[in-house]
Amino acid sequence: MRTDADVDVLIVGAGLSGIAAAYFLQTKLPAATYAILEGRDAIGGTWELFRYPGVRSDSDMHTLGYSFRPWRGAKSIVGGDEILAYIRETAQAYGIDRAIRFGHRVVRAAWSSANAGWTVDAHAGTDATPVRLTCRFVFMCSGYYDYAAGYLPAWAGMERFRGPLVHPQQWPADFDYTGKRVLVIGSGATAVTLVPSLAERAAHVTMLQRSPTYVVARPSENALVQRLRRTFPAPLAGALARWYYLLFGMYFYRLARRKPERVKNAIVNLARAQLGPGYDVETHFTPRYNPWDQRLCLAADGDLFAALRAGTASIVTGEIERFTKTGIELRSGELIEADAIVAATGLSMKLMGGVEIVVDDAVVDLPRTMSYKGMMFTGIPNLALCLGYTNASWTLKCELVARYVCRLIKYMDEHGYAACVARRNPAVSEEPAIGLTSGYVRRAEHLMPKQGTRRPWKLHQNYALDLAALRFGRLRDGVIEFIRAPSAPAA
């Protein structure tokens, strides 16, 4: 690429996807220069932000981990601290940490066709010192939710409650719940991991859910993976473990979409087997929607079910009428007494960290764009967004995107192009970018770019299809346009 910019590629975000992007850039394009701007003061992204008890991934580490640095831990399902350590160790092992500029929150990125480059504005440090960098390609690896605050509904009477009201995204380091009655509002992945962890020290934990979620018990250690490690060299064993989890996940997702009733009954029956015949599984563990209309929740080693069997935790299904001084009153009239309330009510989405995108002095309205291959957007040159799967490990898709970006930049270098941009096809119909019915997705539909109804505009949430398209598919597909620098001779 041209070298009159500060760097060739500017990566925004130093979490799982940002570290992967840096690895592939320095491996596939060793001559390219890059920097990483990270708004926080540490590596890790999500796993550095969330500090609530029991925080963990609902994906196995063989696919959440990097293909170029296979996970070697005994457990496949691990806590947030172990994931964070793994990300940081990976960044250090490949010298990526030296390229990170911490405390740099990107606020604006402006593209100039005349200069064939980006000007990126950031605020650095606690005093928000203005910093400006130029680059040829922007690689957004900042996730899709608001790091500043989670979603908190405005319930009636919230101010009346006399105990602490905590959101997991802002978990206080000094919050002591030992011996207290804790009420957790929510039934998603955060609540499912919080409840059994809190139950170890609390007097009792009640999980209040408006409606049930699919919860699947899964062992944190996998006997097959252990046999693979005893049988094969470490690199091969790691690759086999990764493909085992990957293929099983694809099979299960496909089965759930094709035979939802069969999968629904199987999941509910597994919950019934965990809890025994006397438990009201129909009320508390039988959702109104089909599997994978929303993400499934994972109970590692069946810990949620164990807490319910032990009586240290319980589930109440109902809707909140109002907060009281000592707890919550439901619409049914039932009162739930609590010393502390945890609002595990989900995320607030903020694509690309809310960065203002400007192309030739015109502010881009992202909801009016259409995503190309799930990573670029119509009318925005030389910018890619790293978003993981909703039905599989985040890292699987992020690595494919990073490899594709490297292919794209290498192609432009070899053929003398300064920019590439996806041009919209008016004949392609729109649909929502994310096909889940989860609350955080529905709340943000009006903020998100659209996807199309056919390739390359449609997201398939399928690793095999993406592998074929992004690793081996043609770059010149009649949709993406390659542009020479204004002063460059025509081909």
Does residue 319 contact residue 210 with C-beta atoms inside 8 Å?
yes
Q: Is the pTM of this model over 0.75?
A: yes
DSSP 423: P
Q: Given this model, what pLDDT does residue 463 score?
A: 86
Q: Calculate what percentage of the chain has a pLDDT beyond 70.
A: 95
Residue 232: CB atoms within 10 A of its CB come to 14
Collapsing DSSP to helix, strand or coil, 293 comes out as coil
Instruction: Give dist(CA 284, CA 280) in Å, integer.
Output: 6
How many C-beta atoms surround the C-beta of residue 337 within 10 A? 12
Is residue 149 very low, low, confident or very high in pLDDT (cuts 50, 70, 90)? confident
- Specify the pLDDT at position 434: 64
Evaluate the CA torsion angle 38, 152, 169, 253 in order and state its sign: negative
Distance CA 432, CA 447 (A): 10
Q: Which whole number is the average pLDDT over 358-373?
A: 91
Residue located via tokens 């997705």: 441
Longest dimension (CA), the chain: 78
Give the domains, in start order, of the chain with CATH numbers.
7-147+348-483 (3.50.50.60), 158-343 (3.50.50.60)
Given a contact cutoff of 8 angstroms between Cβ atoms, the answer to whether 152 and 167 are in contact is: yes
Residues whose CB is less than 8 angstroms from the CB of residue 4 and which lie 6 or more positions away in sequence, other chains included:
none
CA–CA separation, 86 vs 79, rounded Å? 11
Would you place residue 103 in the very low, low, confident or very high pLDDT band (cuts 50, 70, 90)?
A: very high
CB 194 within 8 A of CB 54: yes
d(CA 53, CA 68): 30
Say yes or no to pLDDT of 155 above 90: yes
pLDDT at 473: 85
Q: How far apart are CA 319 and CA 328, in angstroms?
A: 10
Strand 383-385 and strand 340-343: the pairing is unpaired
Per DSSP, the three-state class of 296 is: coil
State pLDDT tens for residues 187-199: 999 999 999 999 9
Look at residue 489 and tell me whether its pLDDT is greater than 50: no
Q: Tokens 């990125």 sit at which residue? A: 109
Element (H or E) spanning 358, and its range? strand 356-359
For the ranges 281-295, 331-345, 369-383, 465-479, which has the lowest average pLDDT? 465-479
Please compute the mean of the pLDDT values over residues 88-96 and round it to a whole number.
97
Q: Which tokens in the block code for residue 476? A: 């010149």
- On average, the pLDDT of the chain sits at 90
- Amino acid symbol at 226: Q
Strands of 32-74, DSSP E = 34-38
**pLDDT on residue 32:** 95
pLDDT tens sequence across 400-445? 999 999 999 999 999 999 999 998 888 787 777 665 555 655 666 6
* Of residues 7, 9, 6, 14, the one with CA closest to residue 104: 14
Instruction: Please give the residue that has the higher pLDDT: either 43 or 491.
Output: 43
Torsion, Cα 384 390 392 398, to 10 degrees, reads 10
Would you say 369 and 377 are in contact if contact means Cβ atoms under 8 Å apart?
Answer: yes
| Cβ contact 93:109 at 8 Å | no
pLDDT 10s digits, 45-69: 999 999 999 999 888 999 999 999 9
3-class DSSP state for residue 311?
A: coil
Residue 248 CB neighbours (<10 A): 12
Phi, psi of 253 (to 5 degrees): -65, -45
**Distance (Å, whole) CA 36 – CA 25:** 12
Tell me the one-letter amino acid at 361: D
Q: Which class for 25: exposed (0-12), middle (13-18), buried (19 or more C-beta within 10 A)?
A: buried
Give dist(CA 396, CA 375) in Å, integer: 14
Reported as a single tens digit per residue, the pLDDT across 206-253 is 999 999 999 999 999 988 999 999 999 988 998 999 999 989 988 998
Residue 17 confidence (pLDDT): 95
| Helix, strand, or coil (residue 305) | helix
Q: Which pLDDT score, from 0 to 100, does residue 123 have?
A: 95
**pLDDT given at position 427:** 79
Q: How far apart are CA 297 and CA 338, in angstroms?
A: 25
Give the integer Cα–Cα distance in Å for 214 and 268. Answer: 8
Q: CA end-to-end span of the chain, whole Å?
A: 17
